[in-house]
Amino acid sequence: MNKDGIKEKLSEEAYKVTQEGATEPAFSGEYHATKDDGMYHCIVCGASLFDSNTKFDSRTGWPSFYDTAHNDAVRLAADDSADVSRTEVTCAKCGAHLGHVFEDAPEMPTGQRYCINSCALLFGERKNEGKE
């Protein structure tokens, strides 16, 4: 899908986040407090990204996960854009910016906190998906 097609498909905020690397305001997103059982998918391409079983309340205002839905769900890259060293998380299938991952969740099994923008996600049912 070209950028124009993506722009037509997404809200203005979702476009700015997924295509331009913006961040939605804390506690503003649809999924930051969701506790339903299911799968979080990329809003751009529909790829499975995070299972609700790995979601936790990090009290940061964004959906937080300690692991991905499968080993090839996301790509990680260094991000120094905010004068802070962070690790960007993008969808492995389409490259959409999702958020960042931090190594600051020692109480979680992986120690990681995938801090993801709600507007970059679609929530739905699992379809025989799991950790590969």
62 burial (CB, 10 Å; 0-12 / 13-18 / 19+) is: buried
115 among known catalytic residues: yes
- Going along the chain, which residue ranges are E strands? 39-42, 48-51, 55-56, 64-65, 74-79, 86-91, 97-102, 113-116, 121-124
Q: Which long-range contacts (CB under 8 A, 24 or more apart) does 53-59 make?
A: 56/105, 56/108, 57/33, 58/105, 58/113, 58/115
User: Pick the catalytic residue: 42, 45, 94, 115?
Assistant: 115
- Cite the active site residues: 115
